[in-house]
Every structure is written in C-alpha cells, then in structure tokens.
A and B are shown apart, each in its own frame.
Chain A
Amino acid sequence: MSIITVQIGQCGNQIGEKLFDTIISDSLEFKPNKNQTNLNYYKTLNENYVEDCKERFFSYCDNSYRQDKLYARSILVDMESKVVGKLLNQESNYIFRSSNSYTQKKGSGNNWSYGYCINAPKSSQKIEDIIRKETERCDRLSSFLICMSMAGGTGSGVGSYYTEFLRDNYPRTSLVNTCVWPFSTGEVILQNYNFLLTLNKLYENSDAIILLENDILHQICKRLSPHKEITFDDLNRIIGHKLASILQPCLGDGQQNNYLNQVITDLCSHNDYKLLSLNNVPIMSQQSIDYSTFKWNSLYKNARQLLYTGGYMDEGLKWGLDGVSNKTLALSLFARGLNDSDFEHTDLVNGFFDKTYMNKHFSTKAFGGLWPCPLKLWQQSRPFNNYEKSLSLLSNSQLPAFKIDMLIEKAWKMFSSKAYLHQYIRYKGFKEENLLNAFIFTEKLVKNYKNL
C-alpha cells in the first residue's frame, strides 16, 4: 500500500522534502534503548516497521543500476526551477527521481488565476505522464498526498488544478491535501483571495484537507527555541514531523493498517465536513527530549484538553473549563511508543474520552448525536522520531471554521472595493463570479461547521 506525494510549488516541495527527511531518519536511524529488555522482539518489530515504511513511501530503481537506493514516491511540480533543482541534487539516504519533476521558467506571480488558468493546463500533458508512470510503480495505491501552500500562485492555483485533475483521472484513489495556511499578517497581498479560491476547489475534489497554519507553527517554534530567529525551514520541519507521525505504520483494532484512505474514511466520510487539524503531544526541542520522560496518562490528559480548548501544543495549555469549546466530529489518535503501565491503550482512551466527555464535545445537533465511530485509536509500540512516547491527534473539528470566518471578513473588505480583481480577470477563463461563488461557498462551509 503506497502513498504518492505530489509536491506543488515552492512551499509544497519544501514540505515534501522535510516529510521524507523525517520518514527516512525515523526509519533508518532508530536505536533501541540500551537498557531495553526483550531486544529481539524490538528488532523484528523495527524491521517490520521499516519494511512497511519503505513500501509506503519509496520505490526502487527500475533498472539494475543503483538498485539499493531508495526513490521517494514523489512528484515534484514547480513553475520555477530553484527549489526543485536543489532537491534533485541533494545527496541523502533517498533520492527524488529527476524524471518525476516538472519545472519551467516563469512562475505564477502569486496569482491563483494565472496558476490555474495558464500555467497548470500548459504543463498537464507532461505531468499526466509522470503521474501515470509513478502509479504504475505501486502495487497498490492508497492515496495521493498533495502538499501545497494556499498563499502563492503556484501552490494554490496549480495545486487546485491538479487536485481536480487527479480526481478526474483516479476517481477511486483517495486524495488528501496538506495545505499551509499563510501568516495572517500577510506574506502576499492576494493571499486571502487565493485561499478562498483554493478552498473552494479543494472542497469540490479532495477527500480531506489537512490545514497547517503558519501562525501556529511559528508559535510552536518560538516556544521550542525562544532565542533563535525562526525560518521557514523550522516551520517545515515541524510539518514534516506532524505528517510523518500519522503516515508512518500503525495498527488499529484487528491489526488493521493505518493506510491513509482508511484513516480518511473514519474522519471525512461526510461531504460537507472535511477540514482536518493535526496536533501532536508532546512537541519538544531535540535537546529536551533526551532529558524527558513521558507517561501515557499525562499525554492522554493533555490531548483531551488540547482538543476541546482548541490549543496547539501541550506546553502552556489552557486548563480552565470555560472559554471556547471546540466541537469535534471525529478523531483519530495515533499512539506511538511503549506501553508503560498495566493499562492498555484502549482502557486509557475509554477512561479519558469517557461517555460524558464524548457527549459534551463530540455529540452534535447536525447528526443528532455521535458519529457511528467518533474515535479511532491507532497504535505502534515502536517509538517515533526520537520521542519515547508520542500521541498525534488528527481531528475533524470546528476550530478551522472560526478562523476561516475571520479570513472571509478580510477578503470581503477587499472584494467590496474591487481591489486587485483585475489581476484575476485578466486571464482567460476567470470571471468575477468565480470569486463571488468562492465567497458564497466558503460561507456555507463555515455555517455548516458552526451549526454543529
């Protein structure tokens, strides 16, 4: 079961790089604890884990030359050649196939319309070939993971185009978009328009949208290293960690594998609700991990608090009971690391997410109660990415909708004075109505979530 990552735009490519870096370092550079008992068991556990991981994310060379090398199952698309070129040239434990990349000279100028209407159709013939070849390398394709930003022109415009493209050409394969939400202070002047147009297109075609906010990532980095200047590289590293923590092998009840399409089935089966937030407990800097010990008890406690207060990290968590209450439709928990007590994970989950908690925070008016299976637990006793124990929460909840609401307001102010609109209409195939429809659609989406 494999996942093909489609990296679109500068941001998408950088995220993809960090994702594969995390996966490969987590898989290959694992050293079991020295005072570990039962070493043989962990050895086979680790071997299976690495084997599974390779099958998911990497393929081998087609011909005999360099057969031992791992090739990322990844497709690199950018309208400029700088970032992709750098990725192709790096020497690491794995390689991006140069035949899997598409670049050209002229970027999309931060304009969704230019990316969607001009750049993307121009490249579609070549990219179709690339995608087809890559899918043929997989015995079984679970899903496409599309990495993109929502601010720039290439990520948002070309990304929207290819999400639509993949949906048309691979209707039976699930599509998951990982979208980076721009800084609210603004990286690009057109970002709010771009955001709405992208969200509209993705909602039509994608199965799930994982939203990652630069604002929050920045705050996390700030806490991890308060005295350092924070770069995009740091933010992307966090994203890589987050994504890998849900994509690496894990088992559900009945030895079910956490293939991405399976995870998505649990979380986003309803068409109107497919915004996902991704949180991790704990998040720490590399230095402090070595000096910390964790208890599952406290991790679950933090996770549960994090979920309903809508926080982003276990440090500085709000413990008050009032304030915003975040309704969640469905949650997938990924528990990685050794069990430390007599309690099984299922007991812990049932203890912390008990009936009253579920009824308060998972039960919705729109569905007349809980979803059929609102909470899913995935387990893996092999530790992940140097964390002795870690917990990831992938949830379909109200929180993103509130933020989108604020963004709509800003964008509407611009739109009502028709600011920058000519930049979009310039390109053939884009009309003012498109943007207006995106507004209407997004407002409906927000309303759906708010009325839960």
Chain B
Amino acid sequence: MSQIQVKQIISSFCKILEYFNFSKITPEDLRLAKFNKPNAAPKMWKLLFELVNYLKTRNKLDNQLISNEFDSLGPEKVVKFLKEELLKLGYSCDDFFKLKSSFDENDTSSREILISIGWLISSYEIIKLFIANSNSLLDEEYFKENALMAMNLSEVKKEVDISKSHIMSSSSKDLYIYLNNLKLFDGTFKNNLNSLHSCLSEKVSLTHKVHSETSGSFSCLELHLLKNPDQIEKYEKILEKKIEVQNNFLLWIKNEEPFWTWMESVLDEKISENELNLINSDEVNTESFDYLFAQVLNENVNKAKKVECEFDKNVKKLEDLQHDIKSKIYSDKQQELDRQQLTSLKHFEKEIIQKFQNILLDDNLGYSKCNNRSISDTFEPRLNYIQNKSTNDSQKIKNMTNITEINRKLDEKVKCLENIFDKLKQTATTKCEQISSELEDCYVVYNE
C-alpha cells in the first residue's frame, strides 16, 4: 500500500464530512492528531462532537447551530458530554475517559480522540449512514423526506397546545360542552385532511400532465429548469457537489482497507509511546472508565427502582379510587358517576400512562439497547494487546484480573437494570390493560 493511497482515502473521508456540513477538517489535521501534536485537540473534539450529534439526529447538520452549541458549552461541559455519550454508545477504552477536560494549546490528547473517532466510524458504520442520507434537492424523495423535518415543530406544538387547552378548559365544566368542542375539532381535522388530499391529487394530476406532455422523457425538475434557465446554474452546482461526494463514497467503498491500516498505525503509535512513558505512569485518575460507567449505571438502577416504587404507589391509588367509585355507584343506586370523580380518574389514568411513557422513552435507560457483547468483542482484544505490550508481568496479570472483574460487575449491573426494566414494562402493560378495561366498566356505568 502506498502512502499516496492513504492520503487519498483520508482526504476523501474529509470531503465526505464536509459535504454533510461538518466543520472543515484536513488530512493534515488528522496526521497531527496521530502524532499527538498540539493544536490538533480542539479540532478533534469538535469533530467528535459533531459526529455524536449526527448520530443522535440522523440528519444533515446545521453547522452554525452545532458550532454555537459547541462554543457556548465550553470545554469542560463538551468533554463531559462526549464522555457520557460515548459511554452510552458503548465505548470502553479506559484512556479516553481519563482525558483532561480542556482545549489547551499544549494538550496532547488528540490521538486518543482520534482513536475514539475511528471506533465510532467503524462500529456505527457512519459512512453507510452518510450514503443513506445523501439525498439532495435533485432527488424526488428529498422533499418527501425533508418535509417533516423542515416543519417548524415548536409552532405545530403550540397549535396543538392551543387546541388542547380549548377542549380541556371547557371539559371541566360540562360534558355537553366538551363533546361539542370535540366534534368541532373533529370536523376541522376532517376538513383539513380533505384539503391535504386534494393537494396530493393535484400534484399527481400535474405530474401526470408533465409526463404525458413530454411523453415521459422529462422529470418535473427538468421541465422546471427548462422554464427557468436562470436556475440551472444553481442546480448544476448541487449536481457537481453530489457527483463529487458520490465519487468519494465509491473510493471509500473500494479502498476502505488503507484507512483502517492507517488507524491501526495510530494505535501502534500509542502503544510505542506508552512503552516510553511507562516509568512515570503512576498517576492517579479519578475519572476513569469503570468509575464513570459504574456511576451512571448506579444512577440508573436507583432511578428505575424509584420509578418502580412510584408506579406501584400510583397503581394502588388508582385501584383505591376505582374501588371507591364502584362501591359508591353500587351502593347509592345513583347509576351516575360524579363528574369530578370521572375527570379526576381520567386525569390520573392519563398521568400514569404519561409517566410510564416517559420512562420508556428516557434516553439514559438506553443502555440495554446497545449491544454490550459486540463492544467487548471489538475492542477488548485491542485493549488487551496494548496492555500486553505495555506492562510487565505482574502488572499485566493485575490489569487482566481488574478488567475481568470490572466486566463481570458491569455485566451484573446491566443485567439487573435490564431485569428491572423488563419487569417494570411487563407489570405496567398488564396494569394499564387492567385499569383501562376496568375504567371502561366505569364509563359504561356513567353513560347509562
């Protein structure tokens, strides 16, 4: 493998990043990072930050927004955030979590970050993600896929809140009013859906017209450009960019190998340096990997327990309330449920379901989603390899036992968390079903 080839593949990698609105980065930066040269660290941190954000949103980056966020957070928070996120993603290299949180000029942490970037790219197949997301204005699917993203979500939410408050405010007074308002909104939704449908059929009929007039040889976009030649230049540029990135993708797919060999050389660099620094390596690190992991896990376990406890309490409360109401209905022969009771019951039911959904959707509980085994499979051998090379025998054994110990503990905790989680999920589903079926009984009684 020649040196030129490596450089080529790395530069195409940089170009791909640039196409997806990442901050500009050059092969030279990566080279600097490999040798732990000063100045490289901030750029590497930023790249990692952007990658993590990209993974989270799976969307084209808004460079300005990310940059602003990066700057406003400040080094300390950024590093903390990245450490936590990588932990969640399943990264387990001890050295990375020992890094200091500053963007100092003389900081020599850039290689470690580069390694983590390499890990992220390989284990989450980021290039494949890029390829899947490489739609541009030229593609017909582009608008379909981006329409929802372009929608101003906060505005939509506001609208929904207004409607909700309109229905809810009247609901507390009178069932009749409540129903009337619901019917009103139902009608509005129906009408709006219909007008959406008419828009869609218009689009279909116009597209059909375009195809039939040009006997199918032009797409709508092409016809549009024929009609507005002044826009051709703009689209040409987009097209050129797209071709370039496609070429880069192609290059990557064909010549991925050298990139990874280069990455390995980065690892080798680290190992050889570790050997040199062996003598003065008795620093004490508080924020090491296992410590951080254990801390987060512990937090989650506690949280889950707390949630479970609260959930139990709520269920009990609900059951009591139900029991109350039922007995009251039967004993009073009133055949009618107190309006207030019904609303409070419904409110309570909703609240619980909401709470539960929050738990399910909680990002921090996402550990169980990422596959722990594959992480250890991919990275542990390398870690061991490093450890093997870098330490003498007694330390080696110590480290090995340490690692296995930590792994065992972690596995235990993860399993425990998963168990709690599953149990919670199961009980909640059954409870929810039970409650809603019983509540239905109550509603029926009320309606009668």
Q: When chains A and B are docked, how far (Å) is the Cα of A323 from the Cα of B191?
A: 36
B138 at the interface (CB under 8 A from A): no
Whether the Cβ atoms of B183 and A272 lie closer than 8 Å is: yes
Q: A140-B201, A173-B198 in contact; A268/B187 too (CB < 8 A)?
A: yes
B251 at the interface (CB under 8 A from A): no
Q: How many of A's residues come within 8 Å of B, CB to CB?
A: 26
| Binary flags per residue of A310-327, CB closer than 8 Å to B gives 1, else 0 | 000000000000000000
> In the complex, what residues of A have CB within 8 A of residue B201's CB?
140-141
The residues in A between 1 and 24 inclusive whose CB is less than 8 angstroms from any CB of B are 1
Whether the Cβ atoms of B198 and A172 lie closer than 8 Å is: yes
Q: When chains A and B are docked, how far (Å) is the Cα of A272 from the Cα of B184?
A: 9
A269 at the interface (CB under 8 A from B): yes
Closest to A369 in B: B170
A228 at the interface (CB under 8 A from B): no
Q: A139-B205, A269-B187 in contact; A368/B198 too (CB < 8 A)?
A: no
The residue that A372 contacts in the complex, of B162, B174, B186, B195, with Cβ under 8 A, is B162
Interface-forming stretch among A64-72, A157-165, A257-265, A285-293? A257-265
> In the complex, what residues of B have CB within 8 A of residue A270's CB?
180, 183-184, 187
B316 at the interface (CB under 8 A from A): no
B188 at the interface (CB under 8 A from A): yes
The residues in B between 358 and 403 inclusive whose CB is less than 8 angstroms from any CB of A are none
Whether the Cβ atoms of A269 and B188 lie closer than 8 Å is: yes
| Binary flags per residue of A193-213, CB closer than 8 Å to B gives 1, else 0 | 000000000000001000000
CB distance from A426 to the nearest CB of B (A): 38
Most A CB atoms within 10 A — which of B184, B185, B190, B199?
Answer: B184
Whether the Cβ atoms of B183 and A261 lie closer than 8 Å is: no
Whether the Cβ atoms of A271 and B205 lie closer than 8 Å is: no
Q: When chains A and B are docked, how far (Å) is the Cα of A121 from the Cα of B22?
A: 67
> In the complex, what residues of B have CB within 8 A of residue A343's CB?
none
CB distance from B99 to the nearest CB of A (A): 51
A294 at the interface (CB under 8 A from B): no
> In the complex, what residues of A have CB within 8 A of residue B181's CB?
367-368
The residue that B192 contacts in the complex, of A139, A141, A142, A265, with Cβ under 8 A, is A265
Whether the Cβ atoms of A265 and B188 lie closer than 8 Å is: yes
Q: When chains A and B are docked, how far (Å) is the Cα of A364 from the Cα of B188?
A: 19
Whether the Cβ atoms of B163 and A261 lie closer than 8 Å is: no
> In the complex, what residues of A have CB within 8 A of residue B174's CB?
368
Q: When chains A and B are docked, how far (Å) is the Cα of A366 from the Cα of B173?
A: 11
Whether the Cβ atoms of B180 and A271 lie closer than 8 Å is: no
> In the complex, what residues of B have CB within 8 A of residue A154's CB?
none
B177 at the interface (CB under 8 A from A): yes
> In the complex, what residues of B have CB within 8 A of residue A366's CB?
176-177, 180
Our count of residue pairs bridging A and B at CB distance below 8 angstroms stands at: 74
> In the complex, what residues of A have CB within 8 A of residue B206's CB?
139
Whether the Cβ atoms of B163 and A372 lie closer than 8 Å is: yes
Q: When chains A and B are docked, how far (Å) is the Cα of A276 from the Cα of B46?
A: 62
Q: When chains A and B are docked, how far (Å) is the Cα of A293 from the Cα of B183?
A: 44
Whether the Cβ atoms of B191 and A264 lie closer than 8 Å is: yes
Q: A261-B194, A262-B195, A265-B191 in contact; A140/B184 too (CB < 8 A)?
A: no
B18 at the interface (CB under 8 A from A): no
> In the complex, what residues of B have CB within 8 A of residue A269's CB?
184-188, 190-191
Closest to B178 in A: A368
| Binary flags per residue of B218-256, CB closer than 8 Å to A gives 1, else 0 | 000000000000000000000000000000000000000
A371 at the interface (CB under 8 A from B): yes
Whether the Cβ atoms of A173 and B184 lie closer than 8 Å is: no
A174 at the interface (CB under 8 A from B): yes
CB distance from B204 to the nearest CB of A (A): 10
The residue that A172 contacts in the complex, of B169, B176, B183, B197, with Cβ under 8 A, is B197
> In the complex, what residues of B have CB within 8 A of residue A139's CB?
202, 205-206, 209
Q: When chains A and B are docked, how far (Å) is the Cα of A141 from the Cα of B201?
A: 9
Q: A270-B180, A367-B170, A372-B166 in contact; A172/B194 too (CB < 8 A)?
A: yes
The residues in B between 304 and 335 inclusive whose CB is less than 8 angstroms from any CB of A are none
The residue that A271 contacts in the complex, of B163, B176, B187, B198, with Cβ under 8 A, is B187
The residues in A between 366 and 422 inclusive whose CB is less than 8 angstroms from any CB of B are 366-369, 371-372
The residues in A between 233 and 277 inclusive whose CB is less than 8 angstroms from any CB of B are 259, 261-262, 264-265, 268-272
Whether the Cβ atoms of B202 and A371 lie closer than 8 Å is: no
The residues in A between 325 and 379 inclusive whose CB is less than 8 angstroms from any CB of B are 365-369, 371-372
> In the complex, what residues of B have CB within 8 A of residue A372's CB?
162-163, 166, 184-185, 188
Most A CB atoms within 10 A — which of B166, B185, B191?
Answer: B191
Whether the Cβ atoms of A173 and B194 lie closer than 8 Å is: yes
Closest to A136 in B: B205
> In the complex, what residues of A have CB within 8 A of residue B191's CB?
174, 207, 261, 264-265, 269
> In the complex, what residues of A have CB within 8 A of residue B190's CB?
269
Q: When chains A and B are docked, how far (Å) is the Cα of A261 from the Cα of B191?
A: 8
12 A–B contacts from the bound complex (CB under 8 Å): A140-B198, A173-B194, A261-B195, A262-B195, A265-B192, A269-B184, A269-B187, A270-B180, A271-B187, A366-B176, A368-B181, A369-B169
Given contacts A270-B187, A368-B177, A368-B181, 19 further A-B contacts (CB under 8 A): A1-B202, A139-B206, A140-B199, A141-B198, A172-B194, A172-B197, A173-B194, A261-B198, A264-B191, A265-B188, A269-B186, A270-B183, A271-B183, A272-B183, A367-B177, A367-B180, A368-B170, A371-B184, A372-B166
**Chain B residues within 8 Å of A, Cβ to Cβ:** 162-163, 166, 169-170, 173-174, 176-177, 180-181, 183-188, 190-192, 194-195, 197-199, 201-202, 205-206, 209
Give 9 closest A-B pairs by Cβ, nearest first.
A269-B187, A140-B202, A368-B170, A265-B191, A368-B177, A269-B188, A270-B184, A172-B194, A172-B197
